[in-house]
A and B are shown apart, each in its own frame.
Chain A
Amino acid sequence: EIVLTQSPDFQSVTPKEKVTITCRASQSIGSSLHWYQQKPDQSPKLLIKYASQSISGVPSRFSGSGSGTDFTLTINSLEAEDAATYYCHQSSSLPHSFGQGTKLEIK
């Protein structure tokens, strides 16, 4: 089973700041890594698919990169509405799995 480890677990950031969240896989998963945003009391929302592919309707300040075992979600010019928990998800091999989540707090 592939384990995904996100860092940091928690980050407090100010608006307009650039944020980087990392996700490390316990073995190579190619580019089969996806990112989701979950706001309190809401279901997750797909932000990025296959490491770096953008999703229609998602603001362009969200971008993804990486391959193999190391991946990054970048949020440029953070906005107050970006306060949420972010999860990575791998679909390279079964069972599919999620990272533990990174909670972003806006100062």
Chain B
Amino acid sequence: QVQLQESGPGLVKPSETLSLTCTVSGGSIRSYYWSWMRQPPGKGLEWIGYIYYSGTTNYNPSLKSRVTISVDTSKNQFSLKLSSVTAADTAVYYCARGGYYDILTGFSYYYMDVWGKGTTVTVSS
């Protein structure tokens, strides 16, 4: 079955760029949407954004000026970059399969049915 694994530095200095990669195994990255979420310590979930395998993206406006999500279909990976980080960006970051486009109906369906285990990123000097 499809599995996702986040990877990247666990510690990032303030003002620097957080970079994470999500590797998809057991299935193709094609034909799906892929999402990033985060969860600050002791708090709820925040949607960061998604990318379609073709490269179309949508971001949370609260982070839009600092976020870039990209995809590498040859490696079955997608990535998150968050620039100018502060302590408020300290969180567990999750990647997830975020939905699919149904070619028969012409509709997109968005829900997170497969999640990675999450990776903790701390912003501190």
Q: Interface on A for B, CB 8 Å cutoff?
A: 1, 32, 34, 36, 38, 42-46, 49-50, 55, 87, 89, 91, 94-101
Contacts and interface: CB of A to CB of B under 8 A. Distances in A.
B94 A44 contact: yes
B124 interface: no
Of listed B45, B59, B116, residue having the most chain A CB within 10 A: B45
Interface stretch (B10-18, B22-30, B78-86, B107-115): B107-115
A58 B36 CA distance: 23
Given A95-B47, A96-B47, A100-B44, A36 B61 contact: no
Contact of B44 (A45, A49, A98): A98
B94 A43 contact: yes
A1 B118 CA distance: 26
B interface, over-half SS? loop
B101 to A, nearest CB: 13
A87 B94 contact: no
B47 A97 contact: yes
Contact of B45 (A32, A87, A95): A87
Nearest to B108: A91
B46 interface: yes
A7 to B, nearest CB: 14
Given A91-B99, A95-B47, A95-B61, A43 B111 contact: no
Contact of B46 (A32, A42, A44, A98): A98
B60 interface: yes
Interface in B31-69: 44-47, 49-50, 58-62
A96 B44 contact: no
A43 B44 contact: no
A89 B111 CA distance: 8
A100 B52 CA distance: 27
